[in-house]
Copies of this chain bind each other. A is one copy, B any other.
Amino acid sequence: MTLIEAFKTAREVRLAARSGAFRGSTTGQCDQYIQANLIIVPSKYAKDFRGLCQRNPVSCPLLAESPAPGDPTFPEVAKDCDVRKDAPGYNIYVNGKATQIDVPNIDSLWTEDSVAFLIGCSFSFEGTLATAGLIPRHTELGINVPMYRTKAALMPSGVFGGNMVVSMRPYRGEEVEKVRDLTRPFSRTHGEPVAWGWSAVKALGITDIHTADFGDAPVFREGEVPVFWACGVTPQLSVMSSPDVKGTVIGHAPGKMICLDLKCADILEQQ
């Protein structure tokens, strides 16, 4: 089995998303590169959102912030990036309610007051897992990773609260320690799992493991257990569950990430 890989570099993914030619999940794409979750907030919430990331670095590992309100570029991590078009899909929230799902660009919604944040994505370590013979099931099957809301509360920061979202990859019980060891150094892209095993389903407050809240349904094989990582969709759930967050907030469509020029080796923690 190999990763599905149509694009070798992050820039190719960004350009294909920008033109509208690529609207799919970025899982398995440009596997040497870091992928990022996106959240765009009015500038008055930027400080509280920065605090949310500082206080919840496992679910919200902050990779970069746009240089100034109204500037849609990320010159330090993605050459010529235009954050208004470079994700293959976007979700729009107004006063905490999702109003548009998976739109191709946000040109008409970006304002001089918009501040964008990039948050590490667990797709970034999937190449490492695959190389070790632990290919994630959803990349093997060419589908999106299953993601779930949990009842695990975030550490609140100003107007932002809510619960953690997790992504799930099935592995055999005896593989879990190796999976933990391989993903631990990726602290900028969620790092090691937050929970694993069938008992974790209830502990996290997931009501039905077979029905994902975001992404595609999981596919388990005999002897496998769910392994959960914190997920960068968390800020979007936070926006939906924080009544003091008003106005327009924009996120990427879950699974459709901004691909960065950063490579895994650039952010791996020394062990």
Contacts and interface: CB of A to CB of B under 8 A. Distances in A.
Residue among A55, A58, A153 having the largest count of chain B Cβ atoms under 10 Å: A55
A158 B187 CA distance: 13
Interface string A151-169: 0110111100000000000
A55 B57 contact: yes
Residue among A57, A155, A157, A187 having the largest count of chain B Cβ atoms under 10 Å: A155
A203 interface: yes
A158 to B, nearest CB: 7
Given A55-B57, A55-B191, A57-B57, A153 B152 contact: yes
Given A58-B155, A155-B230, A230-B155, A51 B184 contact: yes
Contacts of A58: 55, 155
A210 interface: no
Contacts of A203: 153
Interface string A126-155: 000000000000000000000000001101
Contacts of A184: 51, 157-158
10 contacts: A51-B187, A54-B57, A54-B187, A55-B191, A152-B152, A152-B153, A153-B203, A157-B192, A158-B180, A158-B192
